[in-house]
Structure 1
Amino acid sequence: MSPFRKLVVACFVFLLPGFAEGADRPNFVFFLVDDMGWADIAANNPDTFYETPNIDAFAKSGMRFTNGYAAASICSPTRASILTGRHPVRVNITDYIPGAKVPADSKFLHVEDRDNLALEETTIAELLKEKGRYTTFFAGKWHLGGEGFYPENQGFDFNIGGHERGGPPGGYYSPWKNPKLKAKRDGEYLTERLTEESIAFLKKPETDAAPFLLYLSYYNIHTPIQAYKKHIDHFSEKAEKQFSGPTPVIAERNNFSRGRQDNPELASMVSAVDDSVGAILQALEERGLAEDTVVVFFSDNGGLCTLPPRRSGIGGPGCNLPLRSGKGWLYEGGIREPMIVRAPGVTKAGT
């Protein structure tokens, strides 16, 4: 299979030939959420503790993939696979960058992973620029290499906040300690800023002159689990009314998995993503771009729900039930993702 065909299959360019009549080169908006599990949106799990009205409405307007799987159960390998259309082992990124320390008594041989996505790899951004003269915009989490391997070195014309770290070193409220994004004010919320920058890109003259790729890679809902002030009171009150007694725990070998979705802080972070998705979809409508734009929603791996006792006595912050386990595990909870595609003229609403 040729590299182009792999990209077609993996990165949604397969939608180009059947796109709405008159739109020879559709725009693309790709939402990638960090650590969001399959059960974290109501479109997949009506009983979820979280609230995702904008994502759910988007699902009704597009096609929901009930068996969407990530290329890996952790972030960097999946991100490399999405960008290149290749299996993680083919790009020599099989663990998060820089990777976990291999135990001295390990009985297995371990591959020598790269600390970056090789510049020789062809990314979806480079392909779209070469084949269709696209303007390419990246915002958010990169985690595929440091200086010299940033998004601007991999085919993106704009890079807002993408650098080598997997989570925001300074937290979600500024100062973020992000070398590629300076806060405008103290206490600025990271996801709100990434949304603002994405909408500003949609208003640039470049988006009128040429088709575009807007790749918004959220840091949410990765650790640190830090309440989104706009919604935390609502979810704290909801949890108090809905739950009684301690959080149930499920044993997973020598680890624990959280047994229910009941974390107000995490719920508020999910809502921050939902607000962002809604704002950007609304901006597409207002700019008259919605009918010419393919929109994809995905996650890099399952929710963080399983942790060793030394880190938590109740597992991770999230819960992926009815799926087993989560991030870092190859059970369904670690690799099955929320996946939604809307391509006017190609996908049928509500399927």
Structure 2
Amino acid sequence: MGSSHSAMQMPHSNSSCAVDESIVSTPASTVTGTLILSIVFLLGFPGNLFVIWSILARARKQSVTTLLILNLALADGSLMALTPFFIAYLAFMNWKMGTVMCKVLFYLCLANMYASIYLIMLMSIYRLVSIVWPQRISVITGKRTITRVLAVMWLFVMVASIPALIYRDARRNKENRTVCDSFHDKDPDAVLQYMLENVLGFLVPYGIILVSYICILRRIRQTKFRRRIRSEKLILAIVVTFCLFWLPYHIINMVQVASALFPECSPKRILLEKIWKKFRAVTSTVAFISSCANPVLYFFAGKSYIRREGLAFMARLFEATGMDYTRKSRLNSQNSRDKDKDAEVVLQDKDRDSSTNSNSNIKLTTEK
């Protein structure tokens, strides 16, 4: 496979019209990226550790939503632990950790992206079922069921991230710097790699999230219980925040894919390569912000508990979020049961009236 790729691969740095392909080719973007990543690490690493500690040590009861938030914090916290490596990469504009670390670190980054969006997708699906089909919520809230779903999701995440192990490599660029980058950027396989990342990491899960919220909003309009509960606000904030921070990254991915589709040295290709090279470092580091944003969202959502609960305020927030779902489901289930009872009472009254009328008719006939 390696030899066939080498034969197909077009020249990179030797081409007179090639644009430097490393994300560290622009000093301004690397400085910006270094500052962003440093702030992200200082906020995100302790923040996600605090979320994990709150759930494991302080939460009295773990709901489905709490379990999903725990997995999300584990994924984000793992990424935050890797951030110093990328800070050093951008600061020195040189990859000094070898090919193995290049492949492993970018594999873990891609896995975190997939894990985050699919955990958010599972939150949206769970919310959809709890509001639209509350009578079926008990089927998916069992511990064994949730554990199996999460295991399948993590297995999918690990498999979907394998292209990072295949295509990432530490190599020299035309400025004689060592960079960690994809070394088959002009191969059809590389185009497929970036397309899969866009489709599996954004379009498919966000399509499911969008459909889920459309169904939820339609259902809420049909019910009497339109009160915005805490869990609705929190999970909607997580969804919107993730989209805002990851959308620029996926747009640059699409620009990079489009550039590979044009002939080499064509003006359109050169222009597109300049665009994605200029913004790749910034959009990649902005995407990291999503991993430190969730603890900040939890803090503002649960600040009303701080005075009463102290350090356990976040655990109480997650417990209340789980109770919101349970309460909402019970209300909807109770509504459906009440409707069934009302319908049954009406039918019984009709049967009673019809039997009374028939008895009256029989008496009249007998008397005659």
Normalising by structure 1, report the TM-score: 0.26
Structure with a larger share of its residues in helix: 2
Normalising by structure 2, report the TM-score: 0.26
